[in-house]
Structure 1
């Protein structure tokens, strides 16, 4: 793709096939996860059953994994990086964030469409809450996360610290290599940590309730364009960014 000058995330124009029943379940799981971020597969199964949806815990867990969501709560850090991936220590404990370009953060979220779904990643300045760059893709491969990172660096300089979770996209050599090349300190949350990704979680809540749940995107291009317009509006409500 690099030889052609085409971003890898832009060539995925069709969402992966999923049964209509599973799509409906995934859309509802997405809503329930925002309302109850501490809920695991067992609790989500019970919530669905209260709504008359007969589904097993294992199937809920499978769909959650496909969506890239998990319960957020305090627990010991027992996660392990993907083979060959290094996990970096958490650097934000006790740090007072008081200026732009001090700390950036990123995350990935699931976005439902009319007949499928996509993923979104965004780079956020923690102090100003502004979205510095984003990408939409039908896969959770590291490439679209790296593209968003590179765009943010090109437009806004660089932060002192970049915070992520321990997802394989963010522990990948491509992603951490881009940060190390720019001499940015890498900070990583404990897997599922309740406190650390709150800034980006607030963004996802706004994106979904103010944009995604009010729309029914027909395709990836429409989703990308509509979300882009919303994020421009979202940034307009945030303090001016002064790198």
Structure 2
């Protein structure tokens, strides 16, 4: 092998610890029956692999050779020859990997959502719901003190702009003081540069719960659950505009101004704040 690659025979035999005469004897010797069979078998493997459009791995090639063609060959031999020749089948679909946020904040809430005044802690999240045209995505910012929706945004895709617009609406409407906390899950939208920069530029401190734990953002999960029952699941929605208008009315007219909350002494969020 080394001599075949252009190395001097003397150097190659010295490195391998064999004699030059042994090298030349082996070179002039006829190929063994095993080598001939392996060469023929590799040709059959290539044919089967090509017929499968390159999809078959060792197990299916072996099955085709033994069951389809009646050859007597072991699975290990097929696997060895395919590995030596660099022949591979198509693997399964790549595993979906959860996208990671660019910026991860620590959890400053630790599941304690009680606050004594407004604009101390906001929670935010995204929900989605289908229509016949496609999904509608809604981002909401909720003040935990009064359960009031202080910012929201609706769009046809769950982008960073969706959550940044909801946050911007809340900031413009409430003007929170420095040190107020905005708490979310670890979605890529909330870890985006746009959302984080908007929050910090307004004096807000980002906070994030742990991965796949709904209890770390339990208040807004409860809000989504009520909205699901009271609005989203009550009918089938035809268009995105129809559902977006219904969500707007639910958030601004019903939830904030009229819906009585047991945690607020049966007042609406607006009544509680006033």
Q: Give the direction of change, closer, same or farther, for the CA distance of 1:108–1:94 in structure 2 (3 Å limit).
A: closer
Q: Which has the higher helix share?
A: 2
Unpaired stretches in structure 1, ≥5 consecutive residues? 1-60, 66-78
TM superposition shift of 1:185? 1.3
Counterpart residue number, 2:122: 104
1:151 aligns with 2:169: yes
Counterpart residue number, 1:118: 136
Q: Is the 8 A contact 2:182 2:204 kept in 1?
A: yes
Q: Is the 8 A contact 1:112 1:212 kept in 2?
A: no
Q: 1:224 aligns with which of 227, 244, 248?
A: 244
What count of residue pairs does the alignment treat as equivalent?
A: 168
* Aligned mates of 2:172, 2:136 — CA distance in 1: 25
- The structure number with the bigger radius of gyration is 2
* Aligned mates of 1:209, 1:93 — CA distance in 2: 27
Counterpart residue number, 1:7: none
* Aligned mates of 1:134, 1:215 — CA distance in 2: 22
* Aligned mates of 1:117, 1:90 — CA distance in 2: 30
TM superposition shift of 1:80? 7.9
Counterpart residue number, 2:229: 209
Q: Give the direction of change, closer, same or farther, for the CA distance of 1:128–1:176 in structure 2 (3 Å limit).
A: same
Q: Give the direction of change, closer, same or farther, for the CA distance of 1:211–1:80 in structure 2 (3 Å limit).
A: closer
Counterpart residue number, 2:269: 239
TM superposition shift of 1:97? 1.8
TM superposition shift of 1:81? 3.4
Unpaired stretches in structure 2, ≥5 consecutive residues? 1-94, 260-267
Counterpart residue number, 2:213: 193
Runs of 4+ in 1 over 3 A off after TM superposition: 79-82
Q: Is the 8 A contact 2:140 2:166 kept in 1?
A: yes
* Aligned mates of 1:115, 1:239 — CA distance in 2: 33
Q: Could you state the TM-score of these two structures normalised by the residue count of structure 2?
A: 0.56
RMSD over aligned CA atoms reads 2.6
Q: Could you state the TM-score of these two structures normalised by the residue count of structure 1?
A: 0.63
